[in-house]
């Protein structure tokens, strides 16, 4: 028995506080998931924006090219306007894009043929279009940069919050000095069940599953919580924890097993192991008719576990047990 110092005893948290903290951690984790989705959406937008930007820049280049093509005739026109007796004042030296300004000034006082006027109009239109396109391009670029930076910052903050909450939770659980089963139960959040369903068979990330007393094995939250109880009942009867050979199995492992023993392991992507709802047991249970098997047959149902009817014969797998309802 560990004697806690008065300081530690004073901050010893209650189970309610632990539950509360775990809920907060779950909420933060869900927010993070939502943000991840947002970021993915934004990345898609950025890709589209970049495509638009490329198109805009191509249009811009075309506008420049066209402008270059009419620059010569424009200069000529301006020159003749300058030489015309009616022209007032000198035209400025042409810089890029300045020809039309100069022409505009002289156009008021110079008679221009219809084709010349059309040339000036075209040049002005091109110049305006060029300016608009350049503005669009810059806008697109800065907006996507800004959005991305904003979301990344949000994500960083949330990651930190999840981490902080996890650390707090760990500290609390340590201070509580709980027995193994209670700690496993407190750490396992049943709301993870819904989250885990969002992933395909065999591709559920570890943080959406729960640990069981047997080290190194994971199950879906509801299956794990029930198994902790079933295991405790078994231990009460036989004096030892149940022997587990396999629990949640990822797709790669399922594929390995399937190719090693076709006909025995389920088709990859279709095994209840890939949903975290199946166990392969040992320690006597693997032998049909053994005292352990018979006990489990009689008691597993109380905890939501069962031996599927197919496993009695095709293929014969006395070690395979599932959580939930038969004929799923």
Residues that bind Zn ion (CB under 5 A): 280, 320
Q: Which is nearer to Zn ion, 189 or 280 (CB)?
A: 280
CB of 151 to Zn ion, least distance (A): 42
Q: Which is nearer to Zn ion, 130 or 307 (CB)?
A: 307
Residue entry with tokens 């069981």: 212
Please state whether beta strands 218-219 and 243-246 pair in parallel, antiparallel, or not at all (unpaired): unpaired
CB 190 within 8 A of CB 26: no
CB 196 within 8 A of CB 209: yes
| Secondary structure tally for the chain: helices H, strands E | 9, 6
Report DSSP state, residue 240.
Answer: S
Largest Cα–Cα separation, the chain = 119
CB of 252 to Zn ion, least distance (A): 16
Q: Which residue is nearest to Zn ion (CB)?
A: 320
Which sign does the torsion angle of CA 258, 264, 268, 273 carry?
negative
CB of 246 to Zn ion, least distance (A): 6
Which residues contact residue 280 at a Cβ distance below 8 angstroms, ignoring those fewer than 6 apart? 244, 245, 246, 247, 273, 317, 319, 320, 321
Q: Which is nearer to Zn ion, 106 or 277 (CB)?
A: 277
Q: Which is nearer to Zn ion, 53 or 244 (CB)?
A: 244
Q: Which is nearer to Zn ion, 222 or 280 (CB)?
A: 280
CB of 237 to Zn ion, least distance (A): 23
Q: Which is nearer to Zn ion, 250 or 280 (CB)?
A: 280
CB of 208 to Zn ion, least distance (A): 20
Joined together, the tokens standing for residue 213 give 């007393």
Q: Which is nearer to Zn ion, 173 or 275 (CB)?
A: 275
CB of 311 to Zn ion, least distance (A): 8
DSSP string computed for 99-110: HHHHHHHHHTTS
CB 25 within 8 A of CB 165: yes
Q: Which is nearer to Zn ion, 74 or 265 (CB)?
A: 265
CB of 273 to Zn ion, least distance (A): 6
Question: SS3 helix, strand, coil % of the chain, rounded to 5?
Answer: 65, 5, 30
CB of 308 to Zn ion, least distance (A): 9
Q: Is residue 110 left, alpha or beta, with left meaning phi > 0 and alpha meaning psi from -120 to 50?
A: beta
- Quick check: helix, strand or coil at residue 305? strand
């Amino acid at each position: 028995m560990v004697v806690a110092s008065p300081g530690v005893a004073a901050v010893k948290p209650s189970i309610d506080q632990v539950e509360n903290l775990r809920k907060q951690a779950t909420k933060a984790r869900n927010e993070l998931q939502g943000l991840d989705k947002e970021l993915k959406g934004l990345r898609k937008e950025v890709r589209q924006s970049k495509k638009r930007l490329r198109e805009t820049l191509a249009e811009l280049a075309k506008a420049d090219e066209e402008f270059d093509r009419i620059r010569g005739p424009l200069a000529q026109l301006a020159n003749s306007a300058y030489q015309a007796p009616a022209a007032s004042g000198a035209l400025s030296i042409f810089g890029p894009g300045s020809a039309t300004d100069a022409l505009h000034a002289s156009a008021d006082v110079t008679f221009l043929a219809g084709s010349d006027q059309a040339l000036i109009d075209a040049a002005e239109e091109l110049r305006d279009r060029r300016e608009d396109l350049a503005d669009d391009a810059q806008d697109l670029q800065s907006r996507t940069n800004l959005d991305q930076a904003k979301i990344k910052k949000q994500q960083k903050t949330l990651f930190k919050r999840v981490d902080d909450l996890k650390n707090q939770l760990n500290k609390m659980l340590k201070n509580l000095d709980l027995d193994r089963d209670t700690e496993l139960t407190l750490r396992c959040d049943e709301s993870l069940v819904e989250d885990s369903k969002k992933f395909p068979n065999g591709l559920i990330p570890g943080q959406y599953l729960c640990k069981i007393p047997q080290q190194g094995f994971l199950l879906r939250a509801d299956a794990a919580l029930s198994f902790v109880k079933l295991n405790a009942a078994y231990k009460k009867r036989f004096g030892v924890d149940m022997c587990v050979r396999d629990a949640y199995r990822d797709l790669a492992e399922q594929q390995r097993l399937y190719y090693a023993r076709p006909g025995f392991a389920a088709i990859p992507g279709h095994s209840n192991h890939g949903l975290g709802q199946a166990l392969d047991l040992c320690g006597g249970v693997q032998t049909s008719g053994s005292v352990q098997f018979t006990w489990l047959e009689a008691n597993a149902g109380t905890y939501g576990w069962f031996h599927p009817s197919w496993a009695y014969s095709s293929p014969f797998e006395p070690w395979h047990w599932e959580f939930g309802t038969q004929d799923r």
